[in-house]
A and B are shown apart, each in its own frame.
Chain A
Amino acid sequence: MSITTTGNLGPMILQSLAPAMLYVPTPTMNYITVCDKVSMPANGGTTCRFMRPRALQPPTVQLGNSGIDPPAQVPQRDIIDAQMAFFGTGCIINEQVILQDQEGVLAWVSERLAVAMRQAEDLILRDYIVSAASDINAGGGTNGDNPTNLAPSDFSLVATTLDTNNAYKFMSGIEGMDRFGTGPVRSAYFMLTSTELQSDLDNLGGNNTPGPFLSQWNYPTNASALPSEFGSVYNIRILTSSEAPVARASSANNGDVYYNTVLGKQAITHINQDGFSMNLIYRDPYYSGMLAQNATLAVKFAQAQALTQDTAIRNLLSTRFSSLAP
Chain B
Amino acid sequence: MAEYSRMAKGSFTATGTTQVVPLPFVPDYVELWNYSIIKTAAANKVARAWWDNKLVDGSNNPTMVEIYNNSSAVVFDTIQTNGISTYSAGLSFQFGPQLSIVSITQSATAPLVTTTNVHNLAVGDVVIFMGLYQSATTGMPQMSGIPFAVKTVPSTTTFTIGWNNNGSNYTALTGSPSGAYVKKVLNPFLYEPGVSDIAFITTGTTTTIVTSAPHCLYEGQEVAFRIPSAWGTIELNSLPNFALPGSPVYGYVQSVTDSLTVVVNINSSSYTAFNPNIPFANTGIAPAQMVAVGDLNTGGVAFSGGALYPSPFFPTPSTAAQSKNSINGAAVKGAFVNNTSQGFIIGSGAAAADVSAAVTLIANTNIVYWHAYLHDYAAP
Contact = CB atoms under 8 A, between A and B. Distances in A.
B296 A79 contact: yes
A252 B222 contact: no
B105 interface: no
Contacts of B222: 78-79
Nearest to A151: B284
A134 B290 CA distance: 8
Contacts of B194: 131-132
B283 A254 contact: no
Interface stretch (A62-70, A81-89, A97-105, A196-204): A81-89
B41 interface: no
Q: Which of B92, B192, B224 has the most CB of A within 10 A?
A: B92
Interface in B178-196: 179, 181, 183, 190-195
Interface residues of A, number: 60
B372 interface: no
Contact of B93 (A135, A148, A164, A246): A246
B286 interface: yes
Nearest to B93: A247
A136 B98 CA distance: 25
Interface residues of B, number: 60
Contact of A81 (B132, B145, B286, B334): B334
Q: Which of B144, B179, B289, B293 has the most CB of A within 10 A?
A: B293
B330 A46 contact: yes
A147 interface: yes
A130 B3 contact: no
Contacts, number: 169
A288 interface: yes
Nearest to B288: A134
A70 B294 CA distance: 31
A81 B144 contact: no
A131 B283 contact: no
B335 A47 contact: yes
Nearest to B189: A131
Contacts of B118: none
Contact of A83 (B179, B181, B285, B328): B328
Contacts of A245: 92-93
Interface string B290-311: 0111111100000000000000
Q: Which of B179, B183, B191, B330 has the most CB of A within 10 A?
A: B191
23 contacts: A46-B329, A46-B330, A47-B331, A47-B332, A79-B222, A80-B295, A81-B295, A83-B338, A85-B337, A86-B328, A123-B91, A127-B91, A131-B195, A134-B291, A137-B286, A138-B284, A139-B282, A139-B285, A140-B284, A145-B283, A250-B128, A250-B130, A306-B336
Interface of B: 3-4, 91-93, 95, 98, 128, 130-132, 141, 144-145, 179, 181, 183, 190-195, 222, 224, 226, 238-240, 243-244, 246-248, 250, 282-287, 289, 291-297, 312, 328-332, 334-338
In the A-B complex, list the 9 residue pairs whose CB atoms are closest, starting with the nearest. A139-B284, A81-B335, A83-B331, A252-B144, A131-B194, A85-B338, A55-B247, A131-B191, A80-B294
Given A57-B244, A83-B335, A85-B337, 18 more contacts: A46-B329, A79-B296, A81-B336, A83-B331, A127-B191, A131-B92, A134-B289, A134-B291, A135-B226, A144-B283, A146-B145, A164-B240, A245-B93, A252-B131, A252-B144, A306-B336, A307-B336, A311-B224
